[in-house]
Amino acid sequence: MDITYKNKKIEKICTDVKTAEKSYGIEMADKIHLRIDQIAASDTIEMMIQFHIGRCHPLAQNRKGQYAMDLVHPYRLVFEKKGNEIQIANILEIVDYH
């Protein structure tokens, strides 16, 4: 699956290990990059949900249309799906929305 990013800041965190470590620490940086690799290796978001990859799950309420994957508790990697034929995961944010 292809990956896009909401802005340059989130792209830098998700693609550069040093930036992620500086922003979130080593454990969280490792988890962020693991999730990005899992998204890139998957064919569809539905497949990630079906096989519980990263505990990927759809969100509801004011986040309808978005999906989340677990990071270091309580943080989540939040993204949305773009396109139907060729799916693109648009990474929105790393957040504790609880």
Sign of CA dihedral 58, 47, 5, 33: positive
pLDDT-above-90 percentage for the chain: 88
Q: Tell me the pLDDT tens digit for each residue of 20-58.
A: 999 999 999 999 999 999 999 999 999 999 999 999 999
Proportion of the chain above pLDDT 70, given as a percent: 99
Mean pLDDT for the stretch of residues 1-6: 94
Query: For residue 87, is pLDDT > 90?
Result: no
Phi, psi of 11 (to 5 degrees): -65, -45
Alpha-carbon span 67 to 86, nearest angstrom: 17
* 5 phi/psi in degrees, rounded to 5: -130, 145
Question: How high does pLDDT run on average in the chain?
Answer: 93
* Residue 73 confidence class, pLDDT cut points 50, 70, 90: very high
> What sign does the CA torsion over 12, 13, 17, 23 have?
positive
User: Average pLDDT for residues 73-85, to the nearest whole number?
Assistant: 90
Q: Is residue 78 classed as helix, strand or coil in its secondary structure? A: strand
